[in-house]
């Protein structure tokens, strides 16, 4: 049986409240034991699982698709935060919604018609996020800000885990904080560790994607807790 986004009665969060949340990125997990790695961070208290989908076109890498997400859905109550680094996000919204995504983020760089993408995602019952690359200006998303649930600021060039944090994006984080309301999440993705998470939290981010710094640690649960603490203590 395939779980759907409507089976959401038991989710750990709906992301509507503002608090510091670390979202472990599946990309850095052990792909031979995804179920176990997901359970480790969930037991540690993670409410959000970040799912990086790459198509080999928008980014020079290929990761996984809706099939993997659908297999994880029945074994986790975490909020599935799907980050589409793909061209034609509207075309695939239904597949990622049916796989069990709670929210689907698309990149503004792939479309001239963001409203069409937003409608395609909403139609299938998911929350909507929009992402901007490190050098993409926030005026490209200004008009659609009232329509999204989350803004994702990339602090590395999308495509690979394990890259270094680009600090210049913190200016955009601070500007976005002022433009978003308390129901909207401000997420940062790439190069997040115990030091950079504090900078991002101070700038106004509330949701922090962490791949390498969680699953690359010998004790991912302890790493998750350290990062959460570092974010909480920074503000």
- Residues lying near Zn ion in the complex (CB under 5 A) are found at 52, 83, 189
**How far are the Cα atoms of 40, 214, 220 from residue 24, in angstroms, in the given order?**
11, 7, 9
* Candidate list 3, 25, 73, 188; residue touching ligand DX5; CB under 6 A: 25
Contact status: 210 vs ligand DX5 (CB under 6 A): yes
Contact status: 190 vs ligand DX5 (CB under 6 A): yes
Q: How far is the CB of 191 from Zn ion (least distance, A)?
A: 11
Contact status: 161 vs ligand DX5 (CB under 6 A): yes
- Residue 24 phi, psi dihedral angles, 5° rounding: -60, 140
Contact status: 50 vs ligand DX5 (CB under 6 A): yes
DSSP for 197-221 reads HHHHHHHT--EEEESHHHHTSSSHH
Active site residue 7: no
Q: How far is the CB of 119 from Zn ion (least distance, A)?
A: 23
> Which one is catalytic: 37, 52, 55, 102?
52
Q: Which of Zn ion, ligand DX5, none has residue 162 at its interface (CB below 5 to 8 Å by kind)?
A: ligand DX5
* Candidate list 37, 42, 52, 102; residue touching ligand DX5; CB under 6 A: 52
Binding segment for ligand DX5 (CB under 6 A), chosen from 1-9, 103-111, 176-184, 205-213, is: 205-213
CA distance 191 to 166: 8
- Residue 88 phi, psi dihedral angles, 5° rounding: 55, 50
Q: How far is the CB of 162 from ligand DX5 (least distance, A)?
A: 5
* Candidate list 191, 196, 206, 207; residue touching ligand DX5; CB under 6 A: 191
Active site residue 189: yes
Contact status: 84 vs ligand DX5 (CB under 6 A): no
Q: How far is the CB of 1 from ligand DX5 (least distance, A)?
A: 29
**Which residues are annotated as catalytic?**
52, 189
Site residues for ligand DX5 per CB under 6 A: 25, 27-28, 50, 52, 83, 156, 158-163, 189-192, 209-213
């Amino acid at each position: 049986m395939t779980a759907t986004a409507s089976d959401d009665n038991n989710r750990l969060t709906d992301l509507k409240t503002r608090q510091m949340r670390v979202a472990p990125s599946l990309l850095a997990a052990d792909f031979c034991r995804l179920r176990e790695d997901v359970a480790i961070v969930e037991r540690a208290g993670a409410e959000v699982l970040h799912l990086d989908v790459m198509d080999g076109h928008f980014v020079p890498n290929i990761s996984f698709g809706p099939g993997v997400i659908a297999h994880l859905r029945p074994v986790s109550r975490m909020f599935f935060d799907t980050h589409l680094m793909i061209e034609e996000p509207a075309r695939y919204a239904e597949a990622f919604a049916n796989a069990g995504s709670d929210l689907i983020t698309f990149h503004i760089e792939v479309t001239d018609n963001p409203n069409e993408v937003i409608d395609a995602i909403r139609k299938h019952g998911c929350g909507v996020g929009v992402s901007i690359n490190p050098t993409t200006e926030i005026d490209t998303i200004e008009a659609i800000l009232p329509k999204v649930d989350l803004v994702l600021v990339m602090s590395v060039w999308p495509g690979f885990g394990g890259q270094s944090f680009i600090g210049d994006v913190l200016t955009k984080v601070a500007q976005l904080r002022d433009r978003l309301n308390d129901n909207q999440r401000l997420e940062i993705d790439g190069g997040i560790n115990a030091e950079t998470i504090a900078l991002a939290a101070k700038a106004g981010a509330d949701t922090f994607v962490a791949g390498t710094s969680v699953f690359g640690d010998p004790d991912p649960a302890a790493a998750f807790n350290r990062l959460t603490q570092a974010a909480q203590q920074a503000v």
